[in-house]
C-alpha cells in the first residue's frame, strides 16, 4: 500500500517560504502555508540577480548551479501561475577608475570563470548608452536580470488560497511540531532572529531602502539606458512601461543599525545623489526630476558569511526545519536552497556543508552534539 503524502507546514510568507512551499508541493506533499500578514522584505526588494561580484570581479558562490536552479523554478512557477516573473536585463557596470578597469580586463587573459557571464571593458562610445558618463568605461554582464517577487508572492498566495491551504496563523519554535504535521519549516527571516540567536545562528537584519521612480518615455525628462541596469555601486533598473511612462527601481541602501522596516527619509536623496555620478547632464536632470512613485524599505535576513542556513532547527526534535538568511541574493540562491531542503528531508540527500547550521562554531558550542 502506498504511503500517504507528508503534511508539511511552511511558516513565513516571503520568498523563502514561497519557494519551499512550492517545492514540497511539487513533490506531492500536502503543504499548508502559514503567515500572519506582517511586512516582508521580499516585497520591497527589486528581485535582481547577477552572477558577478563587482567588489572583487569574481563569480558569486555557485553561480552556474544557482542560475540553472533559479531559471528552472521560475519557468515552473510562470507556467503554473500564468505570470511573467523572470526578466533578463543586462547590467552596465560603470568603472570607478582605471585601476578597476584593469582588474576587470585582466580576467580574460586569466580565463577566469567570471568571463562566461560578462564582457571585457568597453568605452562608452562603443556601448550605445548615451546617458552614461565615465572616462574609464563600462563592463557588461549579460546573465543578469530581475524577478517580479511581489507578483510571485501574490500568485502563490492565490494558488494556495484556492486550495484552502493558506493559513493566517503564527508559529514560533516553542510551539513545536504542529499537530498532524510531518514537518514544519521556519522561513520567518528576521522574525526568527531572536530565537535563532539562542542556539548560535545569527540572522543580521540589514535595512535597505528602494525607490520606485517614473520618467516620460520621450521628450524633456526622458531617461534611456538602452535596456540596461546601470550599476555604479548603487543600481538603476528599468522595469516596465506603465501609464505612458518608464518605471524604474533605484537602490539600495544598506544599514546594520536600523532595526525597523520603515523608510529612511534621507535615503531618497542619498540614492539619487549617488546614481547621478554615472549620468551625463541630461540624465542627471531626468533622474532629479523623476516622479517618486514609492519609497519602500525592508529588513533583509543576512548571515555572517552571506550564505543561508538550511536544514534542521538546532536543538529541536526531528521535523522542525528551517531556511533562513537568503540576504541580498535571495532570488539567485533561494530556489536551489529550497530544493536542497526538500531533497534532504524526503530523500536523505546530504545538505551542502556550506549551508549547514553546524558550520557555525557558536551553534556547536550552544547545542553540543548537534548534527545537521
Nearest to 324 by CA among 12, 5, 1: 12
177 Cβ neighbours under 8 A, 6+ residues apart: 183, 184, 317, 319, 320
Q: How far apart are CA 96 and CA 233, in angstroms?
A: 9
Q: How far apart are CA 94 and CA 101, in angstroms?
A: 9
DSSP secondary structure of 158-199: HHHHHTT-EE-----GGG-SPTT-SEEEE--GGGGHHHHHTT
In tens digits, the chain (372 residues) has pLDDT values of: 457 899 999 999 999 999 999 999 999 999 999 998 765 678 888 899 999 999 999 999 999 999 999 999 999 999 999 999 999 999 999 999 999 999 999 999 999 999 999 999 999 988 999 999 999 999 999 999 999 999 999 999 999 999 999 999 999 999 999 999 999 999 999 999 999 999 999 998 888 999 999 999 999 999 999 999 999 999 999 999 999 999 999 999 888 777 677 888 899 999 999 999 999 999 999 999 999 999 999 888 889 999 999 999 999 999 999 999 998 899 999 999 999 999 999 999 999 999 999 999 999 999 998 887
* 107 neighbors 115 (Cβ within 8 angstroms): yes
Q: How far apart are CA 231 and CA 366, in angstroms?
A: 41
Nearest to 66 by CA among 141, 144, 14, 154: 144
* 366 neighbors 200 (Cβ within 8 angstroms): yes
Predicted confidence at residue 39, as pLDDT, reads 59
Nearest to 322 by CA among 314, 312, 332: 312
Place of cell 533578463: 88
Q: Give, in words, the CATH class of 7-45+150-203+304-366.
A: alpha beta
* 253 neighbors 264 (Cβ within 8 angstroms): yes
Map out the domains of the chain as residue ranges: 7-45+150-203+304-366, 49-61+87-147, 205-302
**CATH architecture, domain defined by 205-302:** 2-Layer Sandwich (3.30)
DSSP secondary structure of 330-344: HHHHHHHHHHHHHHH
What cell was used for 91? 547590467
Q: How far apart are CA 5 and CA 27, in angstroms?
A: 9
Cis peptide before 252 (omega within 30 of 0): yes
Q: What are phi and psi of 129, to 5 degrees?
A: -105, 85
End-to-end CA distance of the chain: 31
The DSSP output letter for 255 is: B
Nearest to 77 by CA among 26, 8, 123: 26
Residue 71, Cα to own-chain centre: how many angstroms?
Answer: 14
Strands 138-141 and 91-94, how do they pair?
A: antiparallel
Predicted confidence at residue 287, as pLDDT, reads 98
Q: What are phi and psi of 36, to 5 degrees?
A: -110, 10
The DSSP output letter for 88 is: E
Beta strands in the chain, from DSSP E residues, in sequence order = 7-11, 30-34, 48-49, 52-53, 58-59, 86-88, 91-94, 138-141, 145-147, 166-167, 183-186, 204-216, 229-231, 235-242, 245-251, 291-302, 309-312, 320-324
Q: How far apart are CA 317 and CA 65, in angstroms?
A: 31
Predicted confidence at residue 328, as pLDDT, reads 86
* 11 neighbors 24 (Cβ within 8 angstroms): no
Q: Can you give the pTM of this predicted structure?
A: 0.95
Q: How far apart are CA 220 and CA 52, in angstroms?
A: 34
Amino acid at each position: 500500500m502506498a504511503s500517504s503524502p507528508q503534511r508539511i507546514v511552511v511558516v513565513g510568507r516571503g520568498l523563502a517560504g514561497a519557494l519551499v512551499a512550492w517545492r514540497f508541493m511539487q513533490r506531492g506533499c500536502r503543504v499548508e502555508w502559514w503567515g500572519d500578514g506582517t511586512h516582508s522584505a521580499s516585497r520591497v526588494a527589486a528581485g535582481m540577480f547577477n552572477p558577478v561580484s563587482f567588489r572583487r570581479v569574481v563569480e558569486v558562490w555557485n553561480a552556474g548551479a544557482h542560475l540553472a536552479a533559479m531559471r528552472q523554478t521560475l519557468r515552473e512557477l510562470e507556467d503554473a501561475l500564468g505570470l511573467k516573473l523572470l526578466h533578463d536585463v543586462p547590467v552596465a557596470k560603470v568603472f570607478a577608475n582605471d585601476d578597476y578597469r584593469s582588474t576587470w580586463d585582466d580576467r580574460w587573459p586569466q580565463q577566469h570563470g567570471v568571463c562566461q557571464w560578462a564582457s571585457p571593458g568597453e568605452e562608452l562610445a562603443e556601448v550605445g548608452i548615451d546617458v552614461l558618463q565615465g572616462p574609464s568605461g563600462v563592463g557588461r554582464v549579460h546573465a543578469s536580470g530581475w524577478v517580479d517577487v511581489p507578483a510571485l508572492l501574490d500568485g502563490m498566495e492565490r494558488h494556495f488560497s484556492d486550495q484552502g491551504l493558506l493559513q493566517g496563523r503564527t508559529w514560533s519554535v516553542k510551539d513545536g511540531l504542529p499537530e498532524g504535521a510531518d514537518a514544519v519549516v521556519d522561513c520567518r527571516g528576521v522574525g526568527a532572529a531572536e530565537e535563532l540567536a539562542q542556539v548560535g545562528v545569527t540572522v543580521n537584519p540589514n535595512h535597505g531602502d528602494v525607490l520606485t521612480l517614473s520618467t516620460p518615455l520621450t521628450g524633456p525628462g526622458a531617461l534611456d539606458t538602452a535596456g540596461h541596469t546601470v550599476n555604479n555601486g548603487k543600481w538603476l533598473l528599468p522595469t516596465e512601461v506603465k501609464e505612458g511612462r518608464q518605471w524604474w527601481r533605484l537602490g539600495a541602501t544598506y544599514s546594520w543599525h536600523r532595526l525597523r522596516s520603515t523608510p529612511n527619509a534621507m535615503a531618497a536623496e542619498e540614492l539619487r545623489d549617488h546614481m547621478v555620478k554615472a549620468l551625463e547632464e541630461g540624465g542627471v536632470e531626468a533622474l532629479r526630476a523623476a516622479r517618486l512613485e514609492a519609497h519602500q524599505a525592508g529588513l533583509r535576513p543576512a548571515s555572517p558569511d552571506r550564505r543561508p542556513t538550511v536544514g534542521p532547527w538546532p536543538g529541536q526534535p526531528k521535523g522542525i526545519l528551517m531556511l533562513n538568511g537568503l540576504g541580498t541574493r535571495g532570488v539567485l540562491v533561494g530556489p536551489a536552497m529550497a530544493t536542497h531542503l526538500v531533497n534532504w528531508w524526503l530523500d536523505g540527500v546530504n545538505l551542502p556543508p556550506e549551508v549547514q547550521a553546524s558550520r557555525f562554531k557558536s551553534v556547536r558550542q550552544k547545542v553540543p552534539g548537534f548534527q545537521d
